Amino acid sequence: MPRVVGKLSPAKVSALVRAGTVGTHGDGGNLNLQVTGPGRASWIFRYSTGGRSRVMGLGPTHTVSLAEARDAARKLRQRLLDGGNPLEERRLAKAAPVGMTFDAVADLYITAKAPGWRSAIHGRQWRNSLRDHVAPLIGSMPVDQIDTAAVRRVLDPIWTVKPETASRVRARMESILDYAISSGWRGEPNPARWKGHLANLLASKDAIAPVQHHPAMEWTALPAFLAGLAGRQGMAPKALAFLVLTGARSAEARGAAWSEIDLAGAVWTVPPSRTKTAREHRVVLAEPALALLRSIRPEQPDPGALVFPGGKPGKPLSDVALAKLLPPGVTVHGMRSAFRTWAGEKTKHAREVIEMALAHRLGDSVEQAYARGDLFERRRKLMDDWGAFCSGTATAAAGMPA
């Protein structure tokens, strides 16, 4: 049932307050009227975060009207949807010194958001880009004084020279300034906003630097390439072969642990913490991939041990170690493109099966809402065909066109 909002009316509020009807009277949408006696009443906003119930005061009824309280509650609900914590943000706002600088707000924002980021690398990337491009120019400015001209001082020198970097810097500035607005340290609008603002002033990133796809090896060359890898010593050739045979992303393959591998079930389960989509991904292990794993599996592996350990204990191989095994101009990520081209052009497997094998999200939000399964059994046939092709044993399989 949809949540009912607007249960109260100005007349009903007035009557409850005048009569001193002690108690909490809900208006819906987290907003409540709290009456403590005749003529004594205030607005409160109830919500939960981290499994804990919170109550936030919005002001007395003789100062804040019902319409104003509803508007405040609507804004707070939006903050909750955006992952905010209104009471904590209010506390920080009260503790914030006058003239808080952009650098100080950036540090608070990163500290607040870091627990939700999947990797410490993400936090370092944020800090490094702000240190290199923002701090020298506007880092010491009070956050409430940053305007469009200040944002342009940061972006103009790099917008056409480093469009990808500039786009990320702009988005990060927008998030930090939004945080400052929500915390009460500056007013709206946000001068780093793209839509309806900077989009009118700057060329789009794609117009400056069209998307460049990762160079891929021709799929026809893969069987011979994998045969060559099989004759090379070390873990890097085996990790690269495993990546090709599974269609996995580099970081996922290099970070694979024995606890994720089920040889009997022929499945590799990548946990959400290690996937790009932050969702568990089950990878079909066709016979060539299983054979490779059996050949390197210790007799009694530590469950947490890496399948493809690097030079340092507990550290995975680097992406560079795999890249050194490829022909000039070909990237590790491009090996996924080779799989996608083979599957799309040379087999009859459905698009959604191929995309699911690559752990891609399907279509728009509506299609994703209905695509609850992972098409595992259909993917098994696809990966069996791929394994047969890569090992040079492919026949007129069901997935192959006549």
Q: Where is 80: in which H helix or E strand?
A: helix 66-81
Ramachandran assignment for 83, one of left (phi > 0), alpha (psi -120 to 50 degrees), beta (any other): left
pLDDT the model gives residue 115 = 81
pLDDT the model gives residue 369 = 43
In the chain, which residues fall in CATH 1.10.443?
A: 219-390
81 token code pair: 């949807």
Quote the CA–CA distance of 33 and 12 in Å, as a whole number: 11
pLDDT the model gives residue 6 = 82
Q: Which fold has domain 219-390?
A: hpI Integrase; Chain A (1.10.443)
In the chain, which residues fall in CATH 3.30.160.390?
A: 10-83
pLDDT the model gives residue 79 = 85
In the chain, which residues fall in CATH 1.10.150.130?
A: 96-208
Burial (0-12, 13-18, 19+ Cβ within 10 Å), 9: exposed
Quote the CA–CA distance of 131 and 140 in Å, as a whole number: 12
pLDDT the model gives residue 364 = 46
- 138: Cβ contacts below 8 Å, ≥ 6 apart: 102, 146, 150, 151, 153, 154
Residue type for position 147: D
Q: Which fold has domain 10-83?
A: Double Stranded RNA Binding Domain (3.30.160)
Q: Would you write out the chain's pLDDT as a tens digit for each of its 402 residues? A: 345 678 999 999 999 999 999 999 999 999 999 999 999 999 999 999 878 899 999 999 999 999 999 999 999 998 888 777 888 777 766 655 556 899 999 999 998 888 887 677 788 889 999 999 999 999 999 998 999 999 999 999 999 888 889 999 999 999 999 999 988 888 889 999 999 999 999 988 877 765 555 567 889 999 999 999 998 999 999 999 999 999 999 999 999 999 999 999 999 999 988 888 778 999 999 999 999 999 999 888 887 899 999 878 778 899 899 999 998 888 888 888 999 999 999 999 998 999 999 988 765 443 444 344 678 899 999 999 999 999 987 653 444 443
pTM score of the predicted model: 0.53
Quote the CA–CA distance of 135 and 55 in Å, as a whole number: 37
Domain 96-208, CATH: 1.10.150.130
Contact call for residues 240 and 229 (beta carbons, < 8 A): yes
pLDDT the model gives residue 263 = 95
pLDDT the model gives residue 211 = 55
Distances (CA, A) of 200 to 61, 121, 153, 204, 380: 43, 33, 16, 9, 49
